[in-house]
Amino acid sequence: MTNSRLIAYLKTLNKAEMRDFGRHIKASKGIKDVSILYDYLLSYHPKYPEKYLNKDHIASKIFPKENNIAKKFTNVMYRFGQLLDDFLVYEELKVKEAEKDLLLLHALKRRQLDQYFFRKAEQIEEDWKKNPPAGLEHLHNKYRLREIYDTHHNYPLTKKTSTNPKHFIYHIDTYYFAIKLYEALSARNNQSYIADLNEANHKEYLLDEILKLSQNSAFSKVPQIKLISNLLRAFINNDFKDFLSLKNEFLNFINLYNKKEQYDIAIFLYSVCYENYKSGRPEALQQLFELNCLMIENQFLLRDGRIRTDQFWNIVNIGFAFNQLTWTEKFILEFGRFLQKNEQQDVLTICNALLSYHNSKYEDAIQKLATVKYQNVLYGLLARSIQLRSYYELGDDYYQMYLSLTKSFYLFLNRNTLSNETKLQFKNFIAFSKKLLHTKNKSNSFDFDTLSSKINTSNVACKRWLLAKLDELQMIGERNKKEKVKVFK
């Protein structure tokens, strides 16, 4: 039974829920045997050691005097499963208030309790106006409420105007538009999905028409449609200038979205802001950092108790780029434990090496990375790029080690299965860093504008670092020129 559905379900119940499930069983009739099984399983909740879960063992323990215990136990298990299913549904209704209310309306309608039906329906409608429930699902529930309400056989007798089918159509369209735009936006933001968009089974039917209609006054006043359609247009048109207005729109109506939607929309906004960052907008770095803080404060980062590795990297790198070392160190300590277990050690090793690097502890950064054998080839790239930058900063005494690493780095790139684009990025990084280090060590003059233009227009890893080092060399060169002028005078 260790891997059975029943045990998997029971493990998710906390102590209070397990107790309530026992009451649920005892409240049912004719289930004495099920109650005996419950008492047995309760004694091992929630760990359920495998040695106590053998079916024959359990059957002999709870039905020691029965002859055909195998058949009896199978029947009891079946009934136990039915009651557990019912209990899980009951527990779900505790958190699904709208679902419970709509089910109650169906019950009142079926039992022809018209007076109480209309009173309850009007109360639900009024409550939803004052405090709209979170989630796009609410738009669908508004349609469901309208459908139950307006199709009641006594509805025209209670209202001055008769039922209007357009009510249904508008609420259907509102929900359909919102969820269609939301899913299309998810597809745009998921690169692995975009590769399949041209396949027949992934065509986005009616999307252009819905985007146009979403600007209609009937739909643009729906906050969810307005925000999601504007975000989608930004992705489609590759135009991310309106990040601040999109962010404010989200924050103004954040309570209209459930936790999953809040998380997803925050990720969409992050993607918009990151595009601005990549395109060199000066304000984007601070905006990204503030967005990271917002996501942490509102608990958007964790999904099923885990943080996405790529998101973790983005937050760490933005923290370093914005020179928030203490904040970034705290983030690594607090959220590193939520990384996937098979990647956790490698990611935290690199992050701690980056902390040392940004605190100018270059030898410490190299030492932390030297003995690690990375499971993921991409982590190997990141580690070597940190080591190479550290050797660059350490100067002449480490020049031979730097050259040795560049050779082994080239071999690593050629031997491993990497995309041609990734190989090109890091080979260009090695080549440009060698050019900068040669200039730094020899104090030679160089054409700053030409080299800056080459780096800016090249497909190269660590581009911002290369440009920062280039600026430093230019400043040193200009200072040397001034000193020579003074000596000459």
What does the alpha-carbon distance between residue 489 and residue 483 come to, in Å, rounded to a whole number? 10
Give the Å distances, CA to CA, from 9 to 4, 16, 34, 84.
9, 15, 16, 8
- Prior bond of 223 cis (ω within 30°): no
**Residue ranges per structural domain of the chain:** 5-95
- For the chain, what is the mean pLDDT? 85
pLDDT, residue 404, reads 92
**Contact yes or no for 439/473 (Cβ under 8 A):** yes
Percent of the chain with pLDDT over 90: 39
Of the listed ranges 92-101, 301-310, 362-371, 479-488, the least confidently predicted one is 479-488
Q: Between the CA of residue 481 and those of 186, 445, 447, 475, 486, what are the distances in Å?
A: 54, 10, 14, 10, 9
- pLDDT number for residue 16: 93
Which pLDDT tens digit goes with each residue over 213-272? 999 988 999 999 999 999 999 888 888 888 889 999 999 999 999 988 998 898 888 888
Mean local confidence (pLDDT), 448-467: 87
- Give the per-residue pLDDT at 260: 86
C-alpha span between 177 and 146 (Å, rounded): 18
**For residue 488, pLDDT beyond 60:** no
Q: Is the pLDDT of residue 331 over 80?
A: yes
Where residue 195 falls among pLDDT bands split at 50, 70, 90?
A: very low
The DSSP string of 292-338 is HHHHHHTT-S-BTTB--HHHHHHHHHHHHHTT-HHHHHHHHHHHGGG
Residues 157-186 as b/e (b if ≥16 CB within 10 A, e otherwise) read eeeeeeeeeeeeebbbbbbebbbbbbebbe
Distance CA 4, CA 35 (A): 19
The rounded distance, in Å, linking the Cα atoms of 251 and 255 is 8
Using one digit for the tens of pLDDT, what is the confidence trace for 395-448?
888 889 999 999 999 998 988 888 888 889 999 999 999 988 887 766 556 678
Question: Which residue do the tokens 């649920």 mark?
Answer: 24
Of 401, 346, 402, give the one whose Cα is nearest residue 373. Answer: 346
Query: Would the pLDDT of 160 be above 50?
Result: no
At 105, which amino acid appears? Answer: L
Q: Which residues contact 305 (CB under 8 A, 6 or more apart)?
A: 338
Query: Residue ranges of the alpha helices (H) in 190-283?
Result: 191-194, 207-213, 217-220, 223-237, 243-252, 259-278
Give the Cα separation of 98 and 373 in Å (integer): 52
How many angstroms separate the CA atoms of 394 and 463, rounded? Answer: 20
189, 141 Cβ separation under 8 angstroms:
no
What's the Rg (C-alpha) of the chain? 31
Q: Are 102 and 144 in contact (CB under 8 A)?
A: yes
Say which DSSP state 48 is in.
Answer: -
pLDDT of 164 strictly over 70: no
Q: Is the model's pLDDT at 374 over the cut of 90? A: no
- At 437 the pLDDT is 86
pLDDT at 193 over 70: no
| Least confidently predicted of 93-102, 229-238, 295-304, 386-395 | 295-304
Q: Which residue has the tokens 């135009």?
A: 239
User: How large a percentage of the chain has pLDDT more than 70?
Assistant: 90
Confidence label for 484 from pLDDT (cuts 50, 70 and 90):
low
Can you read off the two tokens belonging to residue 377? 């080839």
Confidence of residue 356 (pLDDT cuts 50, 70, 90): very high
pLDDT of residue 355: 94
Q: Which pLDDT score is estimated for 146?
A: 85
**Average confidence (pLDDT) over 151-176:** 71
User: In whole angstroms, what is the distance from residue 477 CA to residue 489 CA?
Assistant: 19
Q: What is the residue whose two structure tokens read 């009142």?
A: 108
Q: pLDDT tens digits, residue range 121-158?
A: 999 999 999 999 999 999 999 989 988 887 777 765 55
- What is the distance between the alpha carbons of residues 207 and 320, in angstroms, rounded to a whole number? 39
pLDDT of residue 75: 86
Distances (CA, A) of 383 to 24, 309, 422, 428, 466: 56, 16, 15, 17, 17
- The answer, yes or no, to whether residue 489 has pLDDT greater than 60, is no
Tell me: pLDDT of 366 over 60. Answer: yes
pTM of the predicted structure, to 2 decimals: 0.69
| pLDDT exceeds 80 at position 31 | no
Distance CA 403, CA 392 (A): 10
For 358-367, what is the mean pLDDT?
93
Question: Given this model, what pLDDT does residue 319 score?
Answer: 93
